Amino acid sequence: MIMPHVITENCILCRYGSCVDVCPVVCFHEGPNFMVIDPVECVDCGICVDACEANAIFPAAQLPPSLAHYQKLNESLSAVWPLVMEASGPLTSADAWNGAIGKWQHLVGAPKA
Ligand code: SF4
């Protein structure tokens, strides 16, 4: 069974976009300051994991419990955010926010927990 990969909290305010460049299929959807993977289109190759400068991508089956809610979030937001064919480049805030804690509260365009 194919399990999708999931983008998690440390992408928020970084959105480097390197994952888009290496992915063999088109399955990334971009929001204002975060990015998600469409679980239907992801073929679970894992290439994006090492490409992510923020270490924000996990196989769904290996999500840390504290990040488990991101699986549902990737699924729901990929249905409403636009598909991206090419990365638009890191956000200007990317390096300053990479690794910061408590980024969830800064997520734009998604329901709050
Ligand atoms: Fe794309 Fe592979 Fe990452 Fe899925 S696991 S998002 S198919 S690079």
In a domain, 18, yes or no: yes
High-pLDDT (> 70) share of the chain, %: 96
Whether 63 is in a domain gets the answer yes
Measured CA distances, 62 to 4, 5, 77, 108 (Å): 11, 9, 21, 25
Residue 53 contacts residue 14 (beta carbons within 8 Å): yes
Query: Domain for residue 70, yes or no?
Result: yes
Write the CB contacts of 60 (distance below 8 Å, at least 6 apart in sequence).
3, 4, 5, 6, 39, 71
What's the pTM? 0.94
H/E element, 21: helix 18-22
In this prediction, residue 87 carries a pLDDT of 87
Q: How far is the CA of 5 from the centre of ligand 1 (A)?
A: 6
Q: How far, in Å, is the centroid of ligand 1 from the Cα of 107?
A: 22
The per-residue pLDDT of the chain, averaged, comes to: 94
Domain of residue 36, CATH code: 3.30.70.20
Please give the residue range of the domain that contains residue 43: 5-85
Tokens matching residue 45: 């190759």
CB 44 near ligand 1, within 6 Å:
yes
Q: Is the CB of 48 under 6 A from ligand 1?
A: yes
pLDDT digits (tens, 9 = 90+) for 41-83: 999 999 999 999 999 999 999 999 999 999 999 999 999 999 9
Are 24 and 51 a contacting pair, CB within 8 Å?
no
| Alpha carbon nearest to ligand 1 atom 6, residue | 42
* Domain assignment of residue 16, yes or no: yes
Residue 37, domain member (yes or no): yes
The verdict on residue 35 lying in a domain is yes
The beta strands (E) that lie in 1-113 are given as 5-7, 28-30, 35-37, 57-59
* Number of domains composing the chain: 1
Candidate of 5, 50, 71 to mutate for ligand 1, largest count of ligand atoms within 8 Å of Cβ? 5
Q: Is 80 among the domain residues?
A: yes
Residue 110 placed within a domain: no
Flag whether pLDDT at 113 surpasses 80: no
Look-up of token digits 């890191």: 90
